[in-house]
Chains A and B, each alone.
Chain A
Amino acid sequence: MALTATGVPRLGTLAVVLSISASVLDAIVAHARRDHPDEACGIVAGPLGSDRPDRHVAMENAERSTTFYRFDSAEQLKVWRDMDDRDEEPVVIYHSHTATEAYPSRTDIALAPYPQAHYLLVSTRDPDVTEIRSYRIADGAVTEEAVQVVEASVDPHAVQSYMFGQSPTTVDYECRAGN
Chain B
Amino acid sequence: MAIEVRIPTILRTYTGGAKAVEGSGDTLADLINDLDAKHPGVRGRLITPEGALHRFVNIYVNDEDVRFVGGLDAKLNDGDNVTILPAVAGGAFAFAAVAAMRGHKG
Name A116's closest neighbour in chain B (CB-CB): B9
Please name all residues of chain B whose beta carbon is closer than 8 Å to the beta carbon of A74 when the two chains form the complex: 63, 65
Whether A98 is near chain B, meaning CB under 8 Å from some CB there, is yes
Is B88 within 8 A of A107, CB to CB?
no
Please name all residues of chain B whose beta carbon is closer than 8 Å to the beta carbon of A69 when the two chains form the complex: 89-91
Question: Most chain-B Cβ atoms within 10 A of its Cβ — which of A41, A65, A76?
Answer: A76
Whether B85 is near chain A, meaning CB under 8 Å from some CB there, is yes
Residues 72-106 of B, flagged 1 when their CB comes within 8 A of A and 0 if not, give 00000000000101111111111110100100000
Is B85 within 8 A of A111, CB to CB?
no
Is A68 within 8 A of B93, CB to CB?
yes
Give the docked Cα–Cα distance between A73 and B84 (Å): 11
Whether A93 is near chain B, meaning CB under 8 Å from some CB there, is yes
Residues 53-87 of A, flagged 1 when their CB comes within 8 A of B and 0 if not, give 00000010001010111110110110010000000
Cross-chain contact of A112 among B85, B90, B92 (Cβ < 8 A): B90
Count of residues in B whose CB is under 8 Å from the partner chain: 24
Give the docked Cα–Cα distance between A47 and B3 (Å): 29
Please name all residues of chain A whose beta carbon is closer than 8 Å to the beta carbon of B27 when the two chains form the complex: none
Name B67's closest neighbour in chain A (CB-CB): A73
B12-67 contacts to A (CB < 8 Å): 56, 58, 60, 63, 65, 67
Please name all residues of chain B whose beta carbon is closer than 8 Å to the beta carbon of A71 when the two chains form the complex: 87-89
Identify 16 new A-B residue pairs, CB closer than 8 A, beyond the known A67-B92, A68-B90, A100-B95.
A41-B88, A73-B67, A73-B87, A76-B87, A99-B96, A104-B90, A105-B90, A108-B90, A110-B94, A111-B88, A111-B90, A113-B10, A113-B87, A114-B10, A114-B88, A179-B101
Chain B residues close to A by CB (< 8 Å): 8-10, 56, 58, 60, 63, 65, 67, 83, 85-96, 98, 101
